[in-house]
Amino acid sequence: MKTASPFRELETDVPRVRVRFAGKDLMLRDGGNLAAELLAAGVLSFRQTPVSGAERGPFCMMGACFDCLVEIDGVTRQACMSEVTAGMDIGMPGTEGDVDA
């Protein structure tokens, strides 16, 4: 699945792997920066905050702001500090279906 993204990739001919994000299949660049690859795939909201439920996405891209948190294997991780690997199953913190966080 590919949604319209406000980001453009300079190099498009790259090896991609299938990952799941919030129950949807995406084809992301293998070994790429997870936050960047999700943005490239048109995912802008990564989570809902535990305080107000507001949606958030990457802000600093350098591991400082913790707004790009996602859930990988039941652990909350910074997407901008994670690499894409084949078969990743990524949850969106703060949403329904994330009860085992």
Partner 1 sequence: MLEADLLVLGAGPAGMAAARTAADAGLSVLLLDEQARPGGQIYRDVGNVPEDRAQILGSDYTKGRVLAEALDHPMIRHLTGTTIWQIEAGPRVSFTRDGAASSAKAKRLLIATGALERPMPVPGWTLPGVMTAGAAQILLKQSGLMCERAVLAGSGPLLYLIAAQMCRAGTPPLALVETQTFADRQAALRHLTGALRGWRLVAKGLGLLAEIRKAGVPRYTGASAIAIEGKVQAETISFTSGGKRHNLECATVLLHHGVVPNTQAARSIDVPHHWNEVQQCFVPEKDGWGRTQLPDVFIAGDGAGIGGATAAQLQGRLAALEIACDLGKTTPADRDRNAAPLKRQMETELAARPFIDKAYPAFREALLPADDTIVCRCEEVTAGDIRRYAGLGCLGPNQTKAFGRPGMGPCQGRYCGLTVTNLLADESRRSQDDTGYYRIRPPLKPVTLGELAAMTDLETDEQEPVT
Partner 2 sequence: MESDYAIIGGGVVGLSVAWGLLQRGRSVTVLDGDDGSFRASRGNFGLVWVQSKGMKQPAYARWSQRSAAAWADFTATLQDATGFDAALEQNGGYDFHFSDETLAKTVAQYEILREKLGGDYPYEILGHNELRREEPEIGPKVAGAILHHQDGHANPLKLLRGLAAGVRGKGGTVLNGKTVDTVTRDSSFRIRCSDGTVVEANKLVLAAGLGSAALGPKLGFKAPIRPQRGQVLITEKLPKILNRPSLIARQVDDGGIQIGATNEEVGFNDKVTAKGLAGLAAEAIAAYPILAKAQLVRSWGALRVLSPDGLPIYQESPEMPGAFLVTCHSGITLAAAHASFLPDWLEKTDTAPDLEVFSEDRFALS
Interface residue list for partner 2 (CB under 8 A):
50-51, 74-76, 98-99, 101
Q: How far is the CB of 58 from partner 1 (least distance, A)?
A: 6
C-alpha dist (Å) from residue 53 to 32, 38, 45: 28, 20, 12
Q: How far is the CB of 1 from partner 1 (least distance, A)?
A: 18
Q: How far is the CB of 53 from partner 2 (least distance, A)?
A: 12
Structure tokens at 13: 């001919």
Structure tokens at 17: 């792997």
Q: Are strands 55-56 and 75-78 parallel, antiparallel or unpaired?
A: unpaired
Catalog residues that contact partner 1 under the rule CB under 8 A.
Answer: 6-11, 29, 32-33, 36-37, 39-40, 44-46, 49, 51-52, 54-67, 69, 75-76, 81, 83
Cβ–Cβ under 8 Å, residues 93 and 100: no
